[in-house]
Amino acid sequence: MRTWLGRAALACFIVVCGVAAISAKADDGEQRIGLALGSGGATGLAHIAMLDVFDELERTPDHIAGTSIGAVIGALYASGLNADEIYDIFDDFAGSNLDALSGLVGPGSDLRLRDVMKLGFNDGGVFDASGFLDFLAGKMPVKTFEELRVPLSIVATDYWTGDVVVIEEGELIPAMKASMAVPGLFAPVRKDEQLLIDGGTSNPLPFDVSGRHAERVIAVDVTGSRSREEDEEPSWVDLLFKTFEIMQQSIIAARLEMQEPALYLKPDIRDVRLLDFNEIEAILEQSGDAAGRLREWLQESAPTED
């Protein structure tokens, strides 16, 4: 009996000391800032405008969590590239309409669609994204999570169970490929016993994931919006991709009811298709108001000098 009581007392003492240590760390140290970059296809280029604000203010998030396009841009930034460099990468698509069905590429483009995305009907997707990811890999100064300058979590979905899968170690490119594997468009990625698809199907705005690593999380929702056109019915392509967008918005709304990030931003991006990366300038322009809100928030939360 005395032995049991002694062990119980010791356990309580360890727990109390642990809680006290955690509280002391939270009270004495500056609160960490997490950045959750959401899913949204081409509308996710709005993330570049948010990262530009961090660069302008010479601030760096303490953690980044990304889903789909948020995972791609988050990985580029966490690897050491700044917002301008990431802009230059996607500006290579300028003049190219990355529409999976039209396949149109503008004559002035330096980076041709046919060079980075090949047809891949045999593996569960319309396109094989390997060329695109190889192109990104050539721009990134690091190859693994362990080499990143900012801790990163990439979100995908297990097709078999529907569970959220958070990847935080190993090679970056396979994780990015899994997170952006839009069903029917890009092939799923096999990882051990899992078959991974786009993280947007389970957690399109992973502020809860970043919340495990930081006390204050900024969530950037880039799911966009739709405009009603008089006497014009949406095409079946728009219905397909925009329905996916509606699904993601419903998931985000449900998660926001359960938990709110420190700052929720939703750039007012309208009428941009999933693969309209040629609209980068319009997307960044429409992101201006949200970027302004982020700037104000970061300035107000800037650490004060003693």
The pLDDT of residue 123? 55
- What is the per-residue pLDDT for 242? 81
Q: Distance of alpha carbon 184 from its chain centroid, rounded?
A: 20
- pLDDT, one tens digit per residue, over 101-138 is 333 333 333 344 444 444 444 555 456 777 788 888 99
Is the pTM higher than 0.75? yes
Closest CA to 223 of 71, 74, 37, 55: 37
Give percent helix, percent strand, percent coil of the chain, each to the nearest 5: 45, 15, 35
DSSP result, 214-247: -SEEEEE----B--PPTT-PPPHHHHHHHHHHHH
- Using DSSP, how many helices (H) and how many strands (E) does the chain show? 11, 11
Q: Could you please report the per-residue DSSP string of 15-61? A: HHHHHHHHHHHHHHSPPPEEEEE---GGGGGHHHHHHHHHHHTT---
Integer Cα distance of 262 and 122 in angstroms: 44
99 φ/ψ sector (left φ>0, alpha ψ -120 to 50, else beta): beta
pLDDT tens by residue, the chain, 306 residues: 333 333 333 334 333 333 333 332 344 368 999 999 999 989 999 999 999 999 999 999 999 999 999 999 999 999 999 999 999 998 875 544 443 333 333 333 334 444 444 444 455 545 677 778 888 899 999 999 999 999 999 999 999 999 999 999 999 999 999 999 988 788 899 999 999 999 999 999 999 999 999 999 999 999 988 777 655 777 766 777 788 889 999 999 999 999 999 999 999 998 888 878 888 999 999 999 999 999 999 999 877 655
Nearest one of 205, 188, 150, 13 to 5, comparing CA atoms: 13
pLDDT value, residue 32: 96
85 burial type by CB count under 10 A (0-12 exposed, 13-18 middle, 19+ buried): middle
Average pLDDT over the chain reads: 81
| Joined tokens for residue 137 | 């890999």
Per-residue confidence (pLDDT) for residue 7, from 0 to 100: 38
pLDDT given for residue 94 in this prediction: 52
- Which structure tokens are listed for 256? 């926001």
* DSSP-derived pairing of the beta strands 118-119 and 189-191: unpaired
CB contact at 8 A, 66 and 152: yes
C-alpha separations of 291 from 50, 65, 203, 213 in Å: 5, 18, 23, 23
> What is d(CA 270, CA 259) in angstroms, rounded to the nearest whole number?
26
